Amino acid sequence: MGYGDTVIQRDLSFAIRRGDIFVIMGGSGSGKSTLMRSLIGLLAPQAGKILFDGESFWDAPQRARIRRMRRNGVMYQSGALWSSMTLEENVALPLEQYTRLRPSQIHDVAVYKLALVGLSAYCDFYPSEISGGMRKRVGVARAMALDPDILFFDEPSAGLDPLSARLLDDLILELRESLGTTMVVVTHDLASIFAIADDSVFLDAATQTMLTTGNPRELREHSEIQIVRDFLSRGET
Amino acid sequence: MRILVGAMNDVVSNPVKPHSDPRMALAREQAGHVVVAIGGAWQLDADLPDLERLDADLFSEQELTSIAFETSDLVAWDSGLVSYLASLAWRCRERGIEVREEGLPEGVQALLRLASTVPERRAEGRNEHADPFLRRFGQDFIDLARSTGEILAFVGEVTLAVRSMVAGRARFRRSELWLLIEEVGADALPIISLISFLVGLILGYIGDQQLAQFGARIFVADLVGLAIVIQMGALITAIVLAGRTGAAFAAQLGTMQVNEEIDALRTLGISPVEFLVLPRLIALVAMTPLLAIYANLTGILGGAFAGTVVGGLNPAEYFTETVAAIGWNHITQGLISATVFGAIVAVSGCLRGMQSGRSAAAVGEATTSAVVTSIVFIVIASAVLTIVFDAVGLS
């Protein structure tokens, strides 16, 4: 996996169970976001397969890939909201494109999704008129618009104050509880990792491969790999 | 590499029975209490029923005090159901109607709770109503005054930057200057060749048709030569540069504004006007006169093509007439105009880029605005310069 001739990660092999909150962790530059780009269909891996429900994603024809991608929701690191649209329009666009709902129903769904992230009072605002943390939450609302099977989060807590980060963690847990959505979270925020993760993979920049997989709490206590234990305990072992 | 997603299915999935259209009905149990029966598969990709009738029926109920739900026929659900129930619950609460959620599936209850418990941020500072005409007129006038002030302030900043450059104190990268000179100058040659040749050709063609009526065909050479050298060469160059280079400058600086790159320069104590605007200004002021000379030559060539091929004039005769018609004063006028136009394009492009808002749409607006500002000021400057040249006896 990598860009052009540059290999960023190799020999990755892991499984994400349905309904799990799965964390991709590792130090800066270890290829966490690159891995996520491959999982969400933005960057083809140089070798190997990614299987969703047993079907290879990158070997499938483009139409099947798009169908699969429509069942994923992605929250980008900075929100990546469309700046020429209001928050409600941002959330409504996937619904307009992919459902047969009436405009009033789309409005209801969009307002409800914004209410889930506490922003239904801002429906008519443009992304440039709200703060960075709010943009992230709208990013979550938009990712959830189509009730995806899998939600991907790229650094959800980066740039948020501890309370907002905690609220976002709670939201992720609550959504998994209520909807059974599988969550894949790229993060190196330890508080968040311990609060939400059921399972994880640890990527290493130096060896350019994964070092281990498993529940982060257990890894912190019992992993035989020093780097992983250090990472999970901020080097305080 | 092998990554399996959702392969080990240990969470029970919701099997959907076929032919389970979503439906909703009302049943009155006792006065003031209504039970909403929900059945079928309520999912976003299904055809959800139109709920306006149901809403109307529900809220027309006399002295409605509470509603409850019955969901034994509910096969599957997702946001399609929850969003409707959330909106229903809000409307009920506004009317003081109690909503009993016990009859709903637990997941739905949890999501409804979540939608109402995440602390709602108050939206403030939004003025929705339309302003009356006079107020808008006044506001437009104030905006115009402010934008004029901004333009003057920017021109002032640029002037200070030029002064510190003359004093050798300006901070910018020389390597970038050379790159800009190449982009602004050499890279623009093909488009300027094409346009000035064709404008010269059109002038020559029309001139030939008119002058032929008086038997004065040879004066096509004077007409084309003077028109191109005094005004058209500089004008063509400036307009091409406004569309090509001015727009690019606005987009570059606008994007830098979006990415906080300009803020990063400021916090480092580097003046963005010196670092970004000055090299662009120098590149355009240096290259526009050179491009104008080139445009003059190709324009005259286009006129000569029309005069000799269409009008049948002798090429040598055409050349002699052109040389006799054009004086140094005409060439000087064209070159001074071109230099001024170059400065206008650079300042307008950079000004709009630096003023750009922090979104993709704002960068688009900045780019459009840069081209419009450049062209408006080029035309105004052209008129002013014509009067000035006449007053100082250059024409």
Environment class of B49 (CB within 10 Å of its CB; exposed 0-12, middle 13-18, buried 19+): middle
Q: Do A171 and B5 touch (CB under 8 A)?
A: no
Taking only residues 15 to 54 of chain B, the set having a beta carbon closer than 8 angstroms to any beta carbon of chain A reads: 43-45, 47-48, 50-52
Q: Does B111 touch chain A (CB under 8 A)?
A: yes
Give the pLDDT confidence score for residue A1 in this predicted structure.
74
Give the pLDDT confidence score for residue B273 in this predicted structure.
92
Q: How many CB pairs under 8 A join A and B?
A: 167
To the nearest whole Å, the CA of A221 is away from the closest chain B CA by: 26
Chain A contacts of B86, Cβ < 8 Å? 108, 111-112, 115
Taking only residues 356 to 375 of chain B, the set having a beta carbon closer than 8 angstroms to any beta carbon of chain A reads: 357-362
Looking at residue B386, its amino acid is T
DSSP-derived 3-state class of residue B70: strand
Catalogue the E-assigned strands of A36-188. 49-52, 55-56, 72-75, 150-154, 182-186
Q: Which string of b and e fits A37-49 if b means at least 16 CB within 10 Å? A: bbbbbebebbebe
For residue A78, what is the nearest residue in chain B, using CA coordinates? B259
Chain B contacts of A53, Cβ < 8 Å? 5-7
- Measured distance CA(A22)–CA(A88) in Å, rounded: 29
Q: Do B11 and A98 touch (CB under 8 A)?
A: no
Of B1, B44, B108, nearest to A11 by CB-CB distance is B1
Sign of CA dihedral A185, A188, A189, A192: positive
Give the pLDDT confidence score for residue B221 in this predicted structure.
94
The two three-digit tokens of residue A118, written as one number: 């506490």
For residue B87, what is the nearest residue in chain A, using CA coordinates? A108
Give pLDDT tens digits for B337-386: 999 999 999 999 999 999 998 888 899 999 999 999 999 999 999 999 99
Q: Does A149 touch chain B (CB under 8 A)?
A: yes
To the nearest whole Å, the CA of B148 is away from the closest chain A CA by: 25
Q: Does A45 touch chain B (CB under 8 A)?
A: yes
Q: Does B86 touch chain A (CB under 8 A)?
A: yes
Please give the C-alpha separations between residue B6 and each of A10, A14, A43, A53, A196, in angstroms, as whole numbers. Answer: 22, 11, 20, 5, 18
Number of other CB atoms surrounding residue A173 within 10 Å: 14
Identify which of B190, B242, B176, B258 has the alpha carbon closest to the alpha carbon of residue B381: B242
Identify which of B80, B40, B55 has the alpha carbon closest to the alpha carbon of residue A108: B80
Give the pLDDT confidence score for residue A88 in this predicted structure.
92
Chain B contacts of A51, Cβ < 8 Å? 2-5, 7
- Measured distance CA(B311)–CA(B325) in Å, rounded: 19
Of B10, B50, B357, nearest to A128 by CB-CB distance is B357
Taking only residues 49 to 108 of chain A, the set having a beta carbon closer than 8 angstroms to any beta carbon of chain B reads: 49-54, 82-84, 95, 98-102, 104-105, 108
Looking at residue A232, its amino acid is L
Residue-range domain boundaries for chain B: 23-115, 164-391
The domain defined by B23-115 folds into: Transcription Regulator spoIIAA (3.30.750)
Give the pLDDT confidence score for residue A233 in this predicted structure.
84
Q: Which residues of chain B have pLDDT under 70?
A: 1, 6-19, 117-129
- Measured distance CA(A169)–CA(B266) in Å, rounded: 36
Identify which of B294, B288, B283, B280 has the alpha carbon closest to the alpha carbon of residue B370: B280
For residue A111, what is the nearest residue in chain B, using CA coordinates? B83
To the nearest whole Å, the CA of A237 is away from the closest chain B CA by: 31
Chain B contacts of A117, Cβ < 8 Å? 118
Q: Does B149 touch chain A (CB under 8 A)?
A: no
Q: Does B118 touch chain A (CB under 8 A)?
A: yes
Chain A contacts of B11, Cβ < 8 Å? 18-19, 180
Give the pLDDT confidence score for residue B25 in this predicted structure.
83
Residue A58 has pLDDT above 80, yes or no: yes
pLDDT band at A84 (very low <50, low <70, confident <90, very high): confident
Q: Do A125 and B2 touch (CB under 8 A)?
A: no
Of B52, B107, B128, nearest to A179 by CB-CB distance is B107
Give the pLDDT confidence score for residue B124 in this predicted structure.
58
Q: Report the complex ipTM.
A: 0.70
Looking at residue B21, its amino acid is D
Q: Do A13 and B2 touch (CB under 8 A)?
A: yes
Residue-range domain boundaries for chain A: 1-41+61-71+149-237, 83-147
A77: left (phi over 0), alpha (psi -120 to 50) or beta: alpha
To the nearest whole Å, the CA of B376 is away from the closest chain A CA by: 27
CATH number for the domain running over A1-41+61-71+149-237: 3.40.50.300
